[in-house]
Amino acid sequence: MENLEILVREVCEVAREAGHFLKEERKRFKLDAVKEKRVHDYVSYVDKESERRIVSALRTLLPEAGFIVEEGSADYRDEAYCWVVDPLDGTTNYIHDVTPYCVSIALRGRDELLLGVVYDPSLDECFYAWQGGGAYLNGMPMHVSEVDRMERAFSVVELPYEAERYAHTGFHLIDRMYGLVAGIRMNGSAALAMCYVAAGRYDTWQEAFIGKWDFSAAALLVMEAGGQVTDFYGKEDFLDGHHIVATNGRLHPFVLDLLKASLPEGM
């Protein structure tokens, strides 16, 4: 696709507008507006309205593209191009009035990522990339860290909702990494955690049982920033999977070795 650089800048504006809506709506948000999709997985009118606005704007930008969206306001019918949208990544953070949370928008072909935009309204940070064009934060180029030893790594160990299937893996990762790495965090937003890997803030991240809307945009950002993204088995064809590792590349083998010893049930 031509003119990806122009298109990504237009998508940044779509993400910013949706993010501003999230931030303003948070000022009057009440917990009784929240519904539980499944255990500990929440949704509200904010997610749905944000998605509606994003879908409407993206249809104008690229009418021929389909949609993979978290809240189901549009669909994919095997179009050549497809928008992958998370209208509010970090919903649990959002409903409890803590950060981070964000808007995540990716455009993909059938087997490749073309552009990715992640916008954090709380910090007014817009992360974006397009295929072959590098990765940027508010217009400035960004790159993954050069940390090459786990003893210096700042790592994210996220624990997904599927506690019974992931508990053994999560406990194993924390047990092996606690006291070894420089720091362990749980971010609450897969998209922003991956963006922080791309920006050199974090060095490693992994999570399982997540949707395409959670990781697609940020995966391109990590790769364009010089990092590495695979599934838990080290395979690079992760686009239609649900278990993802993102690192600065130098530490990728170590994380894969840790996972190999304790893969989640059902994978």
The pLDDT value recorded for residue 260 is 92
Whether the pLDDT of residue 163 is over 90: the answer is no
Q: How confident is the model at residue 264 (pLDDT cuts 50, 70, 90)?
A: confident
Q: How confident is the model at residue 249 (pLDDT cuts 50, 70, 90)?
A: very high
For residue range 220-237, what is the model confidence (pLDDT) as tens digits? 999 999 999 999 999 999
Q: How confident is the model at residue 211 (pLDDT cuts 50, 70, 90)?
A: very high
The pLDDT value recorded for residue 28 is 83
The pLDDT value recorded for residue 175 is 95
For residue range 80-135, what is the model confidence (pLDDT) as tens digits? 999 999 999 998 899 899 999 999 999 999 899 999 999 999 999 999 999 999 99
CATH 3.40.190.80 in the chain, residue ranges? 150-260
CATH 3.30.540.10 in the chain, residue ranges? 4-141
Superfamily of domain 4-141: Fructose-1,6-Bisphosphatase, subunit A, domain 1 (3.30.540.10)
The pLDDT value recorded for residue 39 is 53
- The percentage of residues in the chain with a pLDDT greater than 90, rounded to a whole number, is 78
Which of 105, 108, 90, 113 is closest to 23 using CA atoms? 90
The pLDDT value recorded for residue 36 is 65
The whole model's pTM is what?
0.94
For residue range 36-93, what is the model confidence (pLDDT) as tens digits? 665 545 567 888 889 999 999 999 999 999 999 876 666 777 789 999 999 999 988 9
Whether the pLDDT of residue 267 is over 80: the answer is no
Average pLDDT over the chain, rounded to whole?
92
CATH of domain 150-260: 3.40.190.80
The pLDDT value recorded for residue 150 is 96
- Concatenate the DSSP letters of all residues of the chain into one string: ---HHHHHHHHHHHHHHHHHHHHHHHTT--GGGEEEEETTEEEEHHHHHHHHHHHHHHHHH-TT-EEEETT-SS---S-SSEEEEEEEE-HHHHHTT-S--EEEEEEE-SSSEEEEEEEETTTTEEEEEETTS-EEETTEE-------SGGG-EEEE---S-HHHHHHHHHHHHHHHTTTSSEEE--S-HHHHHHHHHTTS-SEEEEES--HHHHHHHHHHHHHTT-EEEETTS-S--TT-SEEEEE-STTHHHHHHHHHTSPPTT-
